[in-house]
Chains A and B, each alone.
Chain A
């Protein structure tokens, strides 16, 4: 293609979009709807993932010490374990006070303070990953000076199961949604290309190269895909912003907070934009191809 042809293709892409404005608008609208459904699902998946991660990362291992244990020694050994996110030492007096507060009566155990305090010193340990909790607990249990450890074994196992199941579900459903969005985009673009079948056949009779015929359609497809994706991103972004901030105000438990971190959100929105644009162009190429045989 020479420079005149490239200039023509660019101009033709713009002119054609203007002349087929309503068809292009409907196409972009349909792309927007299909991408908004996919994007909405991805945001739900992202939030569920965060909630599960929140729960999992708050699973606590309570490490109860023997009376003769040296807390400093345990502290040193805890520091050496991979995967420990944080730990706090709870002296037996504070443990008793916390217990009293948890039962709703801080004065309840006043008599038990001092030498009669039945609680041992303890460490509260948090793992960075809930999958590590069990092995970590076993490792800590073997430390000299550790009486026993408790970490809600059943909860962790259940949480891991749910996380694995949800991850698989999200992968399958988002793949299906992405595939159906791609199929829908290609079909919509194909319809818009079919509406201009005659133009393609005339171009062939006039001796246009296949590349020359494809280029304006490719450009148009990309613009329609991008416009549709942009509409989906704007609508989804606005709806999510509203919903997330109202949830943020009302959610009492911190791990039920919606995802608001831009670092986590932008890949979803950028992905939708890229998917829409690429699929628009790809859909056009596939659709035009069937008219270019021979």
Chain B
């Protein structure tokens, strides 16, 4: 589904590359943890996959298409096939929980009828039935991230990219959120999670891609957070 060939991203001509010469493949439906210290290049790699940034060199193929050759329409289509989940949730404070999730469908021009059908179903899926009319400020951090996940999955994406999704929630919520991601993955959606949550990675034993200073230093099926774990 995703193929990286010697992918490199440099932010400045004199600085160290944020992503350096990374090659790998991710298949459809895979659950992948992207681990490494801060500044290792995890977030940049997610941005490159989302095509928010363009690589300095190398190739990135999505469903066999070279993303560098995407035209505007294809770029939009690409982004609509990806659901993003963020550490800081990025919910719109002035919109209710329902409206935040509905927003993902509204911006891609889906009908009101479809929105009325799908949003409550997704809210139920992430355990937020009864919170639809609350504003983000009125629910807990864990619940806000559930809204973020519901917003990411409501458009039936092929891929979920999550950047430190449990960074702002407690241990219990973190465990529940990871359960949700696993459920999504079992439904056939590819999930890539950049995280520092070593205990979660060690517990779940999924494929682990470890990065250091922009380089991919480990690619391990059923791996742990560190080489020894």
Contacts and interface: CB of A to CB of B under 8 A. Distances in A.
B145 to A, nearest CB: 15
Interface string A1-42: 110110010001000000100000000000000000000000
A207 B106 contact: no
Interface stretch (B21-29, B108-116, B176-184, B192-200): B108-116
A8 B90 contact: no
Contact of A206 (B52, B94, B108, B111): B108
B117 interface: no
B110 A206 contact: no
Interface string A190-214: 0000000011011111111100100
Contact of B110 (A4, A198, A204, A205): A4
Contacts of A263: none
A115 interface: no
Given A19-B94, A198-B92, A206 B109 contact: no
A1 B109 contact: yes
Nearest to B51: A294
Assign chain B's interface to a size class.
20 to 34
B92 A206 contact: no
Contacts of B109: 1-2, 4-5, 8, 212
Nearest to B91: A202
Contacts of B155: 206-207
A22 to B, nearest CB: 13
B contact face: mostly helix, strand, loop, or mixed:
loop
A203 B112 contact: no
B83 to A, nearest CB: 9
Contacts, number: 53
Interface in B82-98: 82, 84, 90-92, 94
Given A198-B90, A201-B90, A4 B107 contact: no
B92 A202 contact: yes
A203 B52 contact: no
A206 B108 CA distance: 8
A203 B151 CA distance: 12
Contact of B104 (A12, A199, A206, A294): A206
Interface in A67-119: none
B61 interface: no
- Of residues A198, A202, A203, which shows the largest number of chain B Cβ atoms within 10 Å of its Cβ? A202
Contacts of B52: 204, 294
A212 B94 contact: no
Q: Contact residue range for chain A?
A: 20 to 34
A208 B84 contact: no
A187 B55 CA distance: 34
A4 B94 CA distance: 22
A208 B103 CA distance: 10
A271 to B, nearest CB: 36
A212 B107 contact: yes
A130 B82 CA distance: 73
Given A4-B112, A209-B76, A203 B90 contact: no
Interface in B126-160: 151, 155
B79 A207 contact: yes
Contacts of B90: 198, 201-202, 205
B56 interface: no
B189 to A, nearest CB: 16
Given A4-B111, A8-B109, A294-B53, A199 B76 contact: no
B136 to A, nearest CB: 12
Contacts of A212: 107, 109
A8 B112 CA distance: 9
B80 interface: yes
14 contacts: A4-B109, A4-B110, A4-B111, A199-B92, A202-B90, A205-B50, A206-B79, A206-B84, A206-B103, A206-B107, A206-B151, A207-B76, A208-B108, A212-B107
Shortest beta-carbon contacts, A-B, top 3? A208-B107, A207-B80, A5-B109
